[in-house]
Chains A and B, each alone.
Chain A
Amino acid sequence: MIELKHVHKAFGSNKVLRGVNLTIESGTSMVVIGGSGTGKSICLKSILGLVSPDSGTITLDGKDVTNVRRSERDSFLARFGMLFQGGALFDSLPVWQNVAFRLLRGSLKRPKDEARTIAIEKLRRVGLKKEVADLFPAELSGGMQKRVGLARAIAAEPEIIFFDEPTTGLDPIMSGVINDLIREIVVEMGATAMTITHDMTSVRAIADNVAMLHDGVIQWTGPVAKMDESGDPYLEQFIHGSAEGPIESVR
């Protein structure tokens, strides 16, 4: 279980997170929605320790992980997989080495052949052929890069997977494919998932629970089935994408 309590983070005078409280139960899929620039990514990055919060605590299975010691960082991060918004593939490495990155070095290191076999298997899992393994990321289309990113996120079979805007920049069909893949993988692996997105189709496809982040706090959280009758004006405006409502359309 991941728990954020009163997490604050400011960059200069810009207060991005103003007391975020959020609980993600183990084995469930949480989707955090909210407009651009509301701090969704910062929220996610502060759990991973890529950004350190100014105050508040983040716990993982009851253990405080707000400031993980460097010596414990490797084993802490080994529990996570992450799909970055732009894929964030290493363009100096061929696809299979990207997917098997964690398996080629560090505490989870395997023999090269085994790592390659696992990489090809994970590529197959996300619907990519074996031939893709030896290409470089720059030779792939955006949708394929996302799939490779997804394969890399699940390569070491993490307990917790983060998805940062998994469908942004993809066409509706590819978005559907990625959404289905995420759902399947999360269910299949029994992983805890946290996704940030502003694509409502994604939300309905991926989420068990939904949280809406606005003005640096969680405005509403609950099961996805109750999202449509929440009665929360912020959430309703967001779901319907209307310009009228409590969320200013000019930000």
Chain B
Amino acid sequence: MSWFFAALAAIGRPVTRGLGTLGRLAIFGGEALSHMLRPPFYFKEILQSLLSVGYFSLPVVGMTAIFTGGALALQIYSGGARFNAEAVVPQIVAIGMVRELGPVLVGLMIAARVTSSIAAEIATMKVTEQIDALVTLSTHPMKYLTVPRVLAGLIMVPLLVGIGDIIGILGGYVVGTKSLGFNPAAYLQNTVNFIEARDVISSLIKGAAFGFIATLLGCYHGIHTGRGAQGVGRATKSAVESAAILILAANFLLTSILFSL
């Protein structure tokens, strides 16, 4: 029988550990949000985070969106041809980018770019005692490190998603008009007519949620890093992995909520 219990324990251990982490993460997120509303506010750090999360992510987001939009147009054109529906390219590119691919791909790129750098930076600060030094200098690490970054995620990632949506549609437009023979004016007209306000709003809501997840997980794993260079490496890896998975899970959840309303 002992092998049976050993097998159960082997399943149970990671499950309880995972649930524990999820609980700690929820508390950490709640604390971050509550600190966001209470002074002191570190405006310089907030501004820096807005720049590094938002502005400096623009090239990556633009590249991701334009190639995805272009590829999407080609796929829909050739896929649609199987049932004589080549003409739907503008509509499907628009809906695909705005409702799904825009937020998800931008979210994942932010996880790769921002989550990793936040986790590595904070973890290094932790292992070199800089976090302890902050505390002894009467500065709350949550306020000084986490709040600016998470706030930047909440504000800037929806903007990036909006920009990504537009650039993605533009990618589809370029491919559609240059190589698939669509009429430029008709392509734009179709796109604009087809997109509804709720598509855009849901896209931005997803952006805010993914921005929150990406920055929060970077901070969380950074603060809870193990020792030494190995600890920093592991913290960064866990941060990106868990941010990506949570973004995809949240995407499913938000999609099912937002479009059932």
Contacts and interface: CB of A to CB of B under 8 A. Distances in A.
Given A77-B135, A101-B139, 12 more contacts: A45-B132, A48-B136, A50-B132, A74-B138, A77-B138, A81-B136, A88-B128, A88-B129, A88-B130, A90-B125, A90-B130, A152-B137
Contact of A106 (B40, B125, B130, B132): B40
A73 B136 contact: no
Interface string A80-117: 11101110111100000000011001111000000000
A88 B40 CA distance: 23
Interface centre among B128, B129, B135, B138 (most CB of A within 10 A): B138
Given A105-B40, A105-B42, A106-B40, A85 B138 contact: no
B132 A102 contact: no
A78 interface: yes
Interface residues on B, range: 10 to 19
Contact of B133 (A49, A82, A105, A108): A82
Contacts of A45: 132
Nearest to B125: A90
Contact of B139 (A50, A81, A106): A106
B137 A77 contact: yes
Given A105-B40, A106-B40, A84 B132 contact: yes
Interface of B: 40, 42, 125, 128-130, 132-139
Contacts of A88: 128-130, 132-133
Interface residues on A, range: 20 to 34
Contact of B138 (A78, A90, A91): A78
25 contacts: A45-B132, A49-B135, A50-B132, A50-B136, A77-B135, A77-B136, A77-B138, A82-B136, A84-B129, A88-B128, A88-B132, A88-B133, A89-B130, A89-B133, A90-B125, A90-B134, A91-B130, A101-B139, A102-B138, A105-B42, A106-B137, A106-B139, A107-B138, A108-B138, A152-B137
Tell me the interface secondary structure of chain A in the complex.
Answer: mixed
Contacts of B130: 88-91
A49 B128 CA distance: 18
Interface string A35-54: 00000000001001110000
Would you list the 7 A-B pairs with minimal beta carbon distance, nearest first? Answer: A88-B133, A88-B129, A74-B138, A77-B138, A82-B136, A84-B129, A106-B138
Contacts of A85: 129
Contacts of B128: 86, 88
B161 to A, nearest CB: 28
